[in-house]
Amino acid sequence: NAGVTQTPKFRVLKTGQSMTLLCAQDMNHEYMYWYRQDPGMGLRLIHYSVGEGTTAKGEVPDGYNVSRLKKQNFLLGLESAAPSQTSVYFCASIASSMGGEPQHFGDGTRLSIL
């Protein structure tokens, strides 16, 4: 049981390039989230999904797109990378919204944009 797996773990991009970050969970969780973490800061929510085929904007959605075509996968895309998107990206999931549950996190993708 791997939990939440993020690929790749590290990536360096040039400004203007595009890429997709993959988050996969094997816990049959309904809700999934993408966050970014910048030095000395907590996590900020980019986008989230409350089920297969659904997506919604979080606190800092600009410059990112997401898709949830399969329940177990949540993809985060950068269409035209900018240096301001240099960050550590974390994916998380929970089973449902019943009664408050802890989020399960992956180990992050460290992305540098030159």
Partner 1 sequence: SQQGEEDPQALSIQEGENATMNCSYKTSINNLQWYRQNSGRGLVHLILIRSNEREKHSGRLRVTLDTSKKSSSLLITASRAADTASYFCATAPKGTSGSRLTFGEGTQLTVNP
Query: Residues in the site for partner 1, rule: CB under 8 A?
Result: 4, 31, 33, 35, 40-45, 48, 50, 56, 58, 90, 92, 94, 96-97, 100-108
CA 83 – CA 13 distance, rounded (Å):
9
Alpha-carbon separation of residue 83 from 25, 74, 78, 86 (angstroms):
29, 23, 12, 6
Nearer to partner 1, 10 or 14 (CB): 10
Q: Measured from the CB of residue 63, what is the shortest distance to partner 1 in angstroms?
A: 19
The residues that bridge with 66 in the sheet, in sequence order, are 76
Nearer to partner 1, 79 or 107 (CB): 107
Query: Mapping DSSP to helix (H, G, I), strand (E, B) and coil, where does residue 57 land?
Result: strand
Q: Measured from the CB of residue 16, what is the shortest distance to partner 1 in angstroms?
A: 28
Q: Measured from the CB of residue 3, what is the shortest distance to partner 1 in angstroms?
A: 9
Amino acid at 88: V
Nearer to partner 1, 20 or 30 (CB): 30
Q: Measured from the CB of residue 15, what is the shortest distance to partner 1 in angstroms?
A: 26
Nearer to partner 1, 17 or 88 (CB): 88
Residue 23: closest CA among 43, 44, 48: 48
Distance spanning both ends of the chain, measured CA to CA: 36
